[in-house]
Amino acid sequence: MDRIRIVGGAPLNGRISISGAKNAALPLMIASLLTSETLTLENTPRLADVAQLKRILGHHGAEVTVEGRRAAQDPFLGDTVRLTAAEIVDTTAPYDLVSKMRASFWVIGPLLARMGEARVSLPGGCAIGTRPVDFFLTGLASLGASIDIDSGYVVAKAPAGGLIGGRVVFPKVSVGATHTVLMAATLARGETVIENAAREPEIVDLADCLIKMGAKIEGAGSSTIRIQGVNALSAARHSVLPDRIETGTYAIAVAMAGGDVLLEGARYDLLESAFDVLVEAGAEVTATNEGVRVTRNGHGIAPVTVTTAPYPGFPTDLQAQLMALACRGKGRSTITETIFENRFMHVQELARLGARIHLDGDTATIDGVEKLTGAPVMATDLRASVSLVIAGLAAEGETMVNRVYHLDRGFERLEDKLSACGATIERVAG
């Protein structure tokens, strides 16, 4: 099993290309099941989760091809993927596929809307909380679907004539449920109103793509989305938006290690809350025509107080990375996690590097230390794994991060991007 070896102490200087967003690419790929025509997605990241979803879509009958790359192209430029689900050959998403990636459960929306039925295994994914699918199911039921649970599978059936537009009110903001109901509603008869919808940029990106396919959607990016159902969707071409979590991760890495890095292709507007926190911590963050520039030269890291929240608040997917940064802060930081109840598994691994962190329920108190010391550590989930890399960049000596398959799920060639900016980091084959 591969590992990542880091020798800390080097500042980061140069340019890092930001990949297409994993959290946008996955629902966009799933949306291909809504039409018999071809959906072409540009800037698709080359990640383990994307590869897994290609296999899942192939199981349902979609033909997935990647356009050829020219030798002179930027090696970090995303793929152009063509997805054609001319015929759905199977409306069952089996356990052995769905259990490997939680987002694959979202196929239930397009399958139900297009085929009138779906049988989808209850999901797996990172162990960072229970993340129940109740909101998904009540949302689909609001569109007229009957829902049953049978031997670990959700069995959903639309009424005769297909799904019917309705009013969906989520008791709590859910990105996955918003994605799923939004896709299903595009083919439902009449109007669907989603209230307390997630406002994340990835929701807007999906809505923009669906509109290109012929859907009628208003309000994406707000808490109320209106969808007028259509009879069918058609072919479209769409570019995946840049990954704001990757952007924030590398911005925090620069704040941790020091230096001056241009995050090429990044969009400042997608991550303003996180950038505000980084500035408070002592970094300089500037929007440019090419992306976002992050610098920290000679100044210490100031403590911060942060609470994670749905967009536009501070992202839960950057909580672990920020905690790594706070470990070197000159004072006491507090981070409160409100999205997932079990997202502090990185704490014990950061402690192995010398971090001083106290947990009390959903709040972590971090007392900054003068130095971190390299040690072998174990990745526990996708975002926790990269927090260990960030800590290793500033630690004295060698840090070896084990179980890096978590990293490969969400970060494209992370070690190459960081080493190009001066970090001493390499992948060690297991």
Using 50, 70 and 90 to split pLDDT, how confident is the model at 69?
low
Per residue in 1-36, is it b (16+ CB within 10 Å) or e — as a string?
eebbbbbbebbbbeebbbbbbbbbbbbbbbbbbbbb
Check whether residue 268 and residue 127 sit in a common domain: no
- Classify 344 as helix, strand or coil: coil
> What pTM was estimated for this model as a whole?
0.95
Q: Where are the alpha helices (DSSP H) in 213-368?
A: 244-257, 272-281, 319-326, 347-352
Sign of the dihedral defined by the CA atoms of residues 92, 97, 102, 107, in that order: negative
Q: Is the peptide bond before 310 cis (omega within 30 degrees of 0)?
A: no
Final residue in a domain of this structure, among 212, 239, 266: 239
Check whether residue 116 and residue 199 sit in a common domain: yes
- Summarised one tens digit per residue, pLDDT across range 31-68 is 999 999 999 999 999 999 999 999 999 999 999 999 86
- CATH code for the domain of 285: 3.65.10.10
Q: Is the pLDDT of residue 349 over 90?
A: yes
Distance CA 327, CA 6 (A): 17
Distance CA 421, CA 412 (A): 15
Final residue in a domain of this structure, among 239, 272, 287: 239
Range of the structural domain that residue 144 is part of = 22-239
The total number of structural domains that make up the chain? 2
Check whether residue 230 and residue 249 sit in a common domain: no
Supply the pLDDT for residue 74.
Answer: 67
Distance CA 174, CA 188 (A): 21
Using 50, 70 and 90 to split pLDDT, how confident is the model at 132?
low
- Summarised one tens digit per residue, pLDDT across range 96-111 is 998 888 899 999 999 9
Check whether residue 214 and residue 74 sit in a common domain: yes
Distance CA 66, CA 114 (A): 25
Supply the pLDDT for residue 214.
Answer: 98
Check whether residue 138 and residue 267 sit in a common domain: no
Final residue in a domain of this structure, among 208, 239, 270: 239
Residue with the bigger pLDDT between 323 and 67: it is: 323
Using 50, 70 and 90 to split pLDDT, how confident is the model at 70?
low
Residue with the bigger pLDDT between 428 and 299: it is: 428
Check whether residue 164 and residue 266 sit in a common domain: no
Check whether residue 41 and residue 183 sit in a common domain: yes
Check whether residue 122 and residue 255 sit in a common domain: no
Active site residues: 126
Q: Which residues participate in the annotated binding site for phosphoenolpyruvate? A: 22-23
Check whether residue 177 and residue 272 sit in a common domain: no
Q: Is the pLDDT of residue 130 over 50?
A: no
Which of 233-237, 377-381, 402-406 has the highest mean predicted lDDT (pLDDT)? 233-237
Mean pLDDT of 116-129: 72
Residue with the bigger pLDDT between 409 and 65: it is: 65
What six digits make up the tokens of 121? 């295994």
Check whether residue 226 and residue 272 sit in a common domain: no
Q: Which residues participate in the annotated binding site for UDP-N-acetyl-alpha-D-glucosamine? A: 102, 172-175, 317, 339
Q: Is the pLDDT of residue 254 over 70?
A: yes
Check whether residue 161 and residue 227 sit in a common domain: yes
Supply the pLDDT for residue 406.
Answer: 84
Check whether residue 11 and residue 34 sit in a common domain: no
Supply the pLDDT for residue 125.
Answer: 44
Query: Could you tell me which residues come within 8 angstroms of residue 206 by beta carbon, excluding any fewer than 6 positions away?
Result: 24, 27, 28, 31, 179, 182, 183, 220
Q: Is the pLDDT of residue 88 over 50?
A: yes
